[in-house]
Amino acid sequence: MDELATRHTSYWAAIDWNTFIGPSPDRAKYGLSNAPGFQAWPERVRGNYDSPGWTANGVEPWGLQPDPIGADGNLFFRGWLNLVLSIYKYVSGDDKWEQPWQIAGYENEHFEWTQPAIVEHLQQQYLDHPEGPHCENTKIWPFCNAAAGLGIYLSDQLGVTNAHGVFENWIEFMKDSYMGINGQNQIEWMTLYYDPLEQFKVNTPGVTAAGAGVAFYLLPQSTEIATQIYDAMANSNGWRDASRDVRPSALGMAIAKSLGDETVYEKLRAAAEQYSEPRWFGDDMEKFGWWFNNGEPYPRGQGAAQQMVNEIAEGSWKDAFSVKHLDKYTAPTLEGVDYPALGVDRAWNDKTTGALHIGTYAADRNAERRPTSWRVTNLPDAANAVVLQDGVRNSDVEVVDANTIRVHTDNQR
């Protein structure tokens, strides 16, 4: 997580905001095949309008904004960055990103930020603009806003900030302005994106195009509306129709698992197995990915990562944001693992017995049986700690300090 967060602060992480300056040079070339939502563009803007994906840093009324976090637009960048930093905090308990750090912007100029300061900036934006901040300049996407809200939500849950109330107001705005709900409480359309300057929306029928991502990110923070969107997706896509062949949906599958909809979950799981090309790869076939029949040398990161959310044996996407087990920060903790040579498949504390259960395996077959070691910290009394390995006491244990031991073993177990 820390490595992912660190990469997110580099110049290349915000390369589109830092290099897609002014109007797109391809404005005259956009059409149905290369500009999402083109069918809904008013005739008056066609040929003189930026496609989604072109961030348009520098256009009026904002002008050039060199800071990719402090800008008015570029929500997708700071929204997901804040979500990553909040997840890092939840996993580790470390306040590293609450201390000042630098973000690289236009022409590699650097700007100082903290994770709480990002939330403060987002909070002010939602106060000033109830419709939501822009992703690319001139375009407000409910999908991006839903993800930004989840980062604020988790930050609040962890007690770092207190800002999600303004986003709850945005959710109400979304229901009123970015969704069409008829008298039978059915969703007739959803907004893909909205341009408040040119004053038009790209609306799509039902929930097919816009719904999955919005519901996925709203589920932990606003379960009721996310469930309504999900139900509409399930019905319109035939996920509950045993006679229909369906296409995979990693996000739909994650929502189904969270809501306990086993029928849909199993149907989408079978679809992923059939159509998403799951397979092992690597020199020793030790790596796994979803290849999506792209004919490429490696599986794509985002698609495979979304599908891997569903490979977790226990728990769910929604439960992951309920900030349980905060006592883990002071409980006995496994550290110093020689990854990727040694893998860990479990590490959990049994409060009843006072035991930390650890499972390891040789993740790199070339390093199998190689001597290794790892530490257990936060022990109440390291000198009296006992290590059982496959039921047999391991005597090769070093007491590092009053609360830490080092266990010497090998890469086989």
pLDDT at 340: 87
Beta bridge partners, 201, equal 194
DSSP state letters, 260-302: T-HHHHHHHHHHHHHHS-EEEESTTS-EEEE-TT---SS--HH
DSSP class of 140: B
**pLDDT value for 325:** 87
Q: What is the pLDDT of residue 311?
A: 84
Determine the pLDDT at residue 148: 98
At 411 the pLDDT is: 79
What residues contact residue 170 under an 8 Å CB cut-off, 6+ apart?
A: 126, 130, 131, 132, 145, 149
Tokens of 159: 């007690």
Using CA atoms, how far apart are residues 365 and 103, in angstroms rounded to an integer?
Answer: 38
DSSP 50: P
Per-residue confidence (pLDDT) for residue 221, from 0 to 100: 97
Whether the CB-CB separation of 264 and 240 falls below 8 Å is answered with yes
Output the pLDDT for position 284.
81
How far, in Å, CA of 368 to CA of 276, rounded? 32
Q: How far apart are CA 116 and CA 160, in angstroms?
A: 7
Cα–Cα distance for residue pair 199/194, rounded to 1 Å: 7
The pTM score is 0.93
Give the up-direction half-sphere exposure of residue 301: CA atoms within 13 A in the CB hemisphere.
Answer: 1
Q: What is the pLDDT of residue 362?
A: 87
Ordered per-residue pLDDT tens for the chain, 413 residues: 899 999 999 999 999 999 999 999 999 999 999 999 999 999 999 999 999 999 999 999 999 999 999 999 999 999 999 999 999 999 999 999 999 999 999 999 999 999 999 999 999 999 999 999 999 999 999 999 999 999 999 999 999 999 999 999 999 999 999 999 999 999 999 999 999 999 999 999 999 777 999 999 999 999 999 999 999 999 999 999 999 999 999 999 999 999 999 999 999 999 999 999 999 998 888 889 999 999 999 998 889 999 999 987 778 999 999 998 899 999 999 999 998 899 998 999 999 999 999 999 888 888 888 899 999 999 999 999 999 999 999 999 999 999 999 999 987 65
